[in-house]
Amino acid sequence: MSSPLALVLASLIGMATARPSVVTSRPTPPSVGEVLNGRQRQLAVRPPRLDEAGLTLDGTLDEPQWQQAATLTGFSQYAPRDGIPAEDSTEVKVWYSATAIHFGIRAFEPHGAVHAALGDRDKISSDDRVELLIGTFNDGRQAVVLGVNALGVQMDGTLVENNQARGGGSGSATITREAPDLSPDFVFQSKGRLTEYGYEVEVRVPFKSLKYQSGESQTWGFNAVRVVQHSGREDSWAPATRANASFLRQSGTLEGLTDLRRGLVLDLTPEVTQRTTGAPVTTNADWRYDAQRPRVGANVRWGMSNNLTLNGTVNPDFSQIESDAGQVSYDPRQALFFAEKRPFFLDGSEFFATPKNLVYTRRVVQPVAAAKITGKISGFSLGVLNAVDGTEGSLDGVSHPVYTIARVQGDVGSRGKLGLLLTDREEGPLFNRVASIDGRRMFGSVYSAQAQYAQSFTRLTPTGGSTSAPLWNGVVSRNGKAFKFRYAFDAVDERFRTQSGFIGRGGIAQWLMDQWYTWYLPQGHFLETIVYDPTFMYTWTYNALVHQGDAIEKKLHNRIAVTARGGWSADATVMVETFGFDPVLYGQYRVLRGTGDTVAFIGQPRIGNRDFAFSLNTPQWKYLSLSAYYIWGSDENFYEWAPADIVFLNLDAEVRPTDRLRLTASYIKQRYVRQTDHSQVADTRIPRLKMEYQIARPLFVRVVGEYTSTEQDALRDDGRTSAPLLINGAPSPAFTDGTFRSDFLISYRPIPGTVFFMGYGAGYTDTRDTPRSFTFPRSLGLSGLSLTDNVFYVKASYLLRM
């Protein structure tokens, strides 16, 4: 873990800690109360530098500073239609002091009630809100996104644009603005209130919470976006057009920011956690609890300079993280992806992003210690991560795997970017290393291209040699208003391995042609947009691609999506597909012809599918929002490699009966029925219910319950011999299975890093003969559920800002 990497880090720290000279003079402040109209393209803002004396963060913009602030008006509609004035007026006031930048928001809402509720951080997607996009490096590629609803509840994250055409998903083919990654948390203050004309919010962002350039005078990219729920509109201060590959490049600027005093940026967050786990005693029916010793850990964040940050963690605890929601697999060859939720790994995660997901920090199971440096130096974005994992993540259960990840990206002119990535996982003599190079380039205003090449080097056994294999991909896209496309080609060698990243399905090559044709109906119509989205997809095994073999999968999806006034959206898709038999997937299958008489399972050469899909999304009403996705038709039965009738259903509902209570319910169902005799092959159902109650803005209670039931018939060679199938030499009998998981958490979090919480989690198994007939238990432990494990935990951490 030393040597070259240590030398590189030492040199970077030396560069980062070289402090810029202190500015003793600054430009003359702008005229008092300057007003800039976005529709008139008055986008260069020079906020006044004022003193914070007498300022109270109360959501009321009545102090003298707000009278002198620059006022941004003249918002334009961006979605669903650009180039027209916004229906609702918005004002954003901005000024700065020596230590922070301040924003005041006045949102006028004459058409109806404001959608606003108390909630946990980042849970304001169903509320009226304003998002501030602050590009502190002014490169038109990345920005910090700070959002607030009418009550001042915060959302925050980062936006790093990939300059790719966006589409897909119900109704979303008309929304081209890339969504921010809400994983990172920034410390800033906000307070909001409802008014007779709409709402008013006051925001203070300390310079300690931001990375920015080391220049004497700062110019930052800036835009403000308002989301109006009653109409489904999205308004932008800078008049952004949809026919553009970048939303951030159309922003305005905050200019003449001088003498910014960040001071010492040193955050220390000590934490202590105690866990008590319960499990049955194997020798009898007794239950045993094991109270673990308190676990003491700490996180540290040091701003080595304005634009470079060092994070470290020792014995981090992630027990406050909500358990992953259940998923079902369409294709057993495709690994399920679970997003990272742990704060240490989320902070600065944008600096490690690559076109293919070669950095997947959930591979680090339970780190003993970890450190990383993230930031930007002389036009280069940098991310370096080193982590020592616990024995839980090792192959032998004893060793401590060591991860080292380094990512560097540099600007190539004003429209290009080049990136390098090195990942290394070592466990004794075993290793996996990946080297990657990638680049992006914009052409004109609507075209962009992206490419990546990676090579892996792996040793899987102590005495074996190492293997090497490639991964490569390329994307060309057009992001026009009426016509856009995305053409992509990906290839992963069968021997390519990444133990630090995530490849959903290896050993294949895929070709994608996706086009979107959008029609905008005249203003005033109930229907606002109609999108036709034909998609062609071909998949080869990597070996077949190299030897010019036939594709194993060929798909044509024809989709029509519509959006309607008020935020409604729906789509319908016809899917015509053909799948070729994959002998690798069924290498352990045998057909039982008689006692002791088996033959290899060869399956049908090809299976043809025809499926129909429909989705519907309601507006984000004040108290309720609903969505549904339904697929039916003829599809492949991967269990037996035979045609089957499939039903897939995903229902989601969010109910907000008060401004403090939020109920989120979902239901997933997947069912396969044989076409030969209409018998059921498999049925999976996953109901999930989450309740969140916000006692106060920093204090909430969360309860989650999820039940998973699976029913599967004995497998057979359906459609050919109907003989039983053996897997790994054993029959595959019919079975039913049911499990229930419950989680409870009460959390007090006034700011990111400072938290006290208590939690309880428990797992149950359904002991009834037919688990799939599950009804939600009247109380835990009833209705045929048997407790299998549980855990109590308490955690306290405190953010010390030096």
In a domain, 175, yes or no: yes
A 10 A CB-CB count for 124 gives 24
79 and 212 share one domain: yes
Same structural domain, 92 and 202: yes
Tell whether 124 is covered by a domain. yes
C-alpha to C-alpha distance for 534 and 514, rounded to whole angstroms:
6
pTM of this structure = 0.84
Q: Across 123-178, where does the E strand assignment appear?
A: 129-135, 142-149, 154-160
Which DSSP letter does residue 181 get? B
* 172: its two tokens: 């979303």
Residue 373 lies in a domain: yes
Look at residues 258, 289, 321 and tell me which one is the last residue of a structural domain: 258
pLDDT of 112: 76
Instruction: Note whether residue 355 is domain-resident.
Output: yes
In a domain, 203, yes or no: yes
SS3 assignment, position 789: strand
pLDDT the model gives residue 12: 38
The pLDDT value recorded for residue 285 is 64
Q: What is the pLDDT of residue 284?
A: 60
For residue 386, give the 3-state DSSP assignment: strand
The pLDDT score that the predictor gives to residue 245 is 87
Spatial contact of 494 and 505, defined as CB atoms under 8 Å apart: no
**Lateral strand order in the sheet of 198-206:** 35-37, 70-73, 90-96, 100-108, 198-206, 189-194
Would the CA dihedral through 58, 62, 67, 68 be positive or negative? negative
Q: Which residue, chain included where needed, has tokens 């998981």?
A: 741
Residue carrying the six token digits 């880090």: 9
Verify that 58 and 176 share a domain, yes or no: yes
Amino acid at 25: S
| Cα–Cα distance for residue pair 307/373, rounded to 1 Å | 11
Which of 258, 292, 316 marks a domain boundary?
258
Residue 545 DSSP class: H
Q: SS3 of 362, please?
A: helix
What is the SS3 assignment for 40? helix
CA-to-CA distance for 686 and 684, rounded, in angstroms? 7
Give a yes or no: residue 336 inside a domain.
no
Give dist(CA 342, CA 366) in Å, integer.
11
Token output for 552: 């194993």
Structural domain harbouring 234: 33-258
Alpha-helix residue ranges (DSSP H) falling in 281-380 = 343-346
CATH number (domain holding residue 389): 2.40.160
Q: In whole angstroms, what is the distance from residue 776 CA to residue 763 CA?
A: 14
In a domain, 549, yes or no: no
Q: Which of 63, 226, 87, 222 is nearest to 150 (CA)?
A: 226
Q: Distance (Å, rounded) from C-alpha 238 to C-alpha 221?
A: 11
Residue 775 CB partners (closer than 8 Å, separation 6+): 783
Q: 542 vs 457, 534, 546, 648, CA distance in Å?
A: 18, 25, 6, 30
Indicate the number of domains in the chain: 2
| Strands 35-37 vs 70-73: parallel, antiparallel or unpaired | parallel
189 Cβ partners below 8 Å, 6+ apart?
A: 57, 203, 204
In a domain? residue 566: no
What SS3 state is found at 224?
strand
Q: CA 196 → CA 13, 73, 92, 111, 230, distances in Å? A: 52, 20, 18, 12, 17
Q: Which residues of the chain have pLDDT under 50?
A: 1-31, 165, 167-174, 320, 771-782
> Could you tell me which residues come within 8 angstroms of residue 734 by beta carbon, excluding any fewer than 6 positions away?
712, 713, 714
Domain boundary among 465, 491, 506: 506
Residue 413: what pLDDT? 82
CATH number for the domain harbouring residue 210? 2.60.40.1190
Specify the pLDDT at position 83. 87
Residues 240 and 352 in one domain: no
Nearest-angstrom CA–CA distance, 297 and 274:
11
- Which pLDDT score is estimated for 141? 86
Give kind and range of the element (H or E) at residue 542: helix 542-546
476 burial level (CB within 10 Å; 0-12, 13-18, 19+):
middle
Q: What is the rounded distance in angstroms from the CA atom of residue 211 to the CA atom of residue 635?
A: 50
Is residue 742 a contact partner of residue 779, using CB atoms and an 8 Å limit? no
Q: What is the dihedral of CA 674, 680, 682, 687, to 10 degrees?
A: 130
Report the alpha-carbon distance of residue 105 to residue 131 in Å, rounded: 10
Reduce the DSSP state of residue 749 to 3 states and report it. strand
- pLDDT at residue 3, rounded to an integer: 39
Q: For residue 149, what pLDDT is reported?
A: 96
Q: Helices (DSSP H) in 2-80: which residue ranges? A: 4-16, 64-68
CB atoms inside a 10 Å sphere around CB 338: 12
Tokens of 196: 């007779």
